Structure formats: C-alpha cells, structure tokens
Amino acid sequence: MALKRPATHAGSWYSANATKLGAEVDRYLANGASALGKSAIPGARVLVGPHAGFAYAGPQLGETYAAFDFKGIKRLFILGPSHHVYLEHAATSAFHSYETPFGNVNVDVETTQKLNDSGVTKYMSATTDKDEHSFEMHMPFLKRLVGDQNVKIVPIMVGQTSQEYEKRLAKLLLPYVEDPSNAFVISTDFCHWGNNFRYWGYADSEDCDNVSQSREELRRALKSSSTPIYKSIEYLDKKGMEVASLTSYDKWKEYCKKTDNTICGRKPLAILISMLENYALEKGEKPINLEWIGYSQSNQVNDISEGSVSYASGFALLR
C-alpha cells in the first residue's frame, strides 16, 4: 500500500484551501519573478529557501521557486534540519508521497532505498516525518510550479552531524549533483534571535569580527554602539550568506564557529557547500557561487526582550 504523508501543517502554517492557497502562492511566485527580473533562471537547479509559515516566509519561498529551472528535472533532493528529534546522521522519508492541497508530490522511493543501502542514511519514523515542517513548507510551491510534471522528491533530514559524516554524505550525493535531471534545495531559516532561542549574538559592523554572545555582553555592547539589534542580525546573516556563496566548506565551518549564528540549516548547507566544492574540483571549474535573491526578518528587534527569525532565498547555477 502506498504510504502518503499528510499535510500536517495545512490549515495552520498555510491555508488548506486549494483555491485560496493557489492565489497566495501564485502571488508570491509572481513577486519573486519580479525581484529576479524573470522566472526560471537557466541552470538554477540548486536552491535555498526558508520553511516558516507563509505569512512570514512566503515572499522568500516565492523568490526561491521563481528562480527554479525545472525543465527536464525528474528528481528534487530536499535537505533540511531536524527540529524535534536528535540525530547524529541523516534520515530519509519512508513515505511514498507528500500531500499538498494541490495534489500529492511523489517520493523517489528507489533513490531513497539506494541511499539507505549505502549505510550512510537511514529511514526516519513516520511520526518524526509528520512532525517535521522543513520539507512540507516547500511542497505547495513545488507542486504549484511544476503541476503535472512528475518531479519526485528525496527528503533528507540532517541531524547534528560530524564534519567527517557531512563530507561522506556529500560524496555520496555528488553523482546526483552531476546529473542534470536532478535538483537540490536546502530548507533553512537564518538567524533565530532572542530569549526563545537562547541566542543574543551582536555585531556592530558588517565584518562581524567581534560578536557578543551572551545577554551580558550584549548589554555592554549596546551602551557603546548605535547599531540597532535588527541591523546587527542582518550583519550576521549577510556575512553568513557571503561566506556560503563562496562554497568553501572550511570557510563555512569557520563562520559558524565564529558567530554561532543560529541558522537551523547550517548542517544541510554545509553538505551542499561540500558537494558544490567537490563538483567544481572534479570539473576543473571555478567555484560555484550561491547567489542570493531576498532577505527578511519576522520582526525588527530593537530591544533585548524581543526576538526574530530571518529568511533568505538563493540559488546556484549548474549547467
């Protein structure tokens, strides 16, 4: 029997009504195309986009999928973090399809099985899969965009993995990157700032050379700095985006250690960066740069008692 993952966040994080949701997603996609100057950027088969409720992350998801060059794409690997369970490895979906208000998105069960047969990945439980939102929030955009084109997905949940493991998984996925019928998307939000996330990182300049980490350090820094907290968060995020765009695994890890920025998809991004770094080396090409489209924050934080989450959209060209 084909197992379908229900759209567990429909009706709360986004509309469960196909007509209403369709109008909303179409608007986000149209606005994304306007931001890009066109839609379906030739060769854009590597994507980065957020996974919050559409009221917050919809604009950036629209930009992400407006860039997607899905012509000829048969398979989309989607790598996201684990929000509810602790893992030291990566886990794949055991479902055969993901439900959306627009219809189902099929899982490539053969590729999933092949990854698991390697011993690098394992199946996640049905409960874990249904609880996780980092894949589901992308599904309405994907389904609305590709329609009846049968683009199958390979969801991969990435836990608290070691550098050795990340490089091993990147190597396993490299042949799929090289195949032009495959696409990749990293599902990640950016900085989670404030008491709810126990992160009070503060940088008073774009270079982010000195980052205050604790509330006490933040209070001291604010006494002598005129940089608003929300601007500091933007500095931290955009420095991360700049470093990620270089697709250097070592530089990305250095940035994460230096700032401790609470980018929930830092591990999936690390795997992508390692893949693209290896891809360029094997091809004898220049580094493949991530290009960023848009950026926003859920709230402009001006006081230490407030909080926010950041969202960004981006893509990379593989020809």
- Do 11 and 21 contact (CB within 8 A), yes or no? no
- Do 73 and 181 contact (CB within 8 A), yes or no? yes
Query: Residue 92: helix, strand or coil by DSSP?
Result: strand
Write the single-letter amino acid at 157: M
- Do 181 and 72 contact (CB within 8 A), yes or no? yes
Task: Give the end-to-end CA distance of the chain in Å, rounded to a whole number.
Answer: 38
Q: Which residue has the tokens 């290009």?
A: 291
Which domains, ranges and CATH numbers included, belong to the chain? 39-190+269-317 (3.40.830.10)
- Do 197 and 270 contact (CB within 8 A), yes or no? no
- Do 194 and 200 contact (CB within 8 A), yes or no? yes
Which has the closest alpha carbon to 141: 252, 82, 61? Answer: 61
pLDDT by residue for the chain (319 residues), tens only, comes to 569 999 999 999 999 999 999 999 999 999 999 999 998 999 999 999 999 999 999 999 999 999 999 999 999 999 999 999 999 999 999 999 999 999 999 999 999 999 999 999 999 999 999 999 999 999 999 999 999 999 999 999 999 999 999 999 999 999 999 999 999 999 999 999 999 999 999 999 999 998 998 999 999 999 999 999 999 999 999 999 999 999 999 999 999 999 999 999 999 999 999 999 999 999 888 999 999 999 999 999 999 999 999 999 999 999 7
> Mean pLDDT in the chain?
97
Residue 293 phi/psi, 5° resolution?
Answer: -105, -60
Residue 138 phi/psi, 5° resolution?
Answer: -90, -20
In this prediction, residue 319 carries a pLDDT of 74
Element spanning 46, H or E: strand 44-49
**Strand order of the sheet with strand 97-98?**
4-5, 97-98, 105-106
Rounded Cα distance between 263 and 174, Å, is: 24
Interacting residues of 159 by C-beta distance below 8 A, sequence separation 6+ = 82, 85, 86, 87, 88, 89, 90, 91, 267
Query: Residue 303: helix, strand or coil by DSSP?
Result: coil
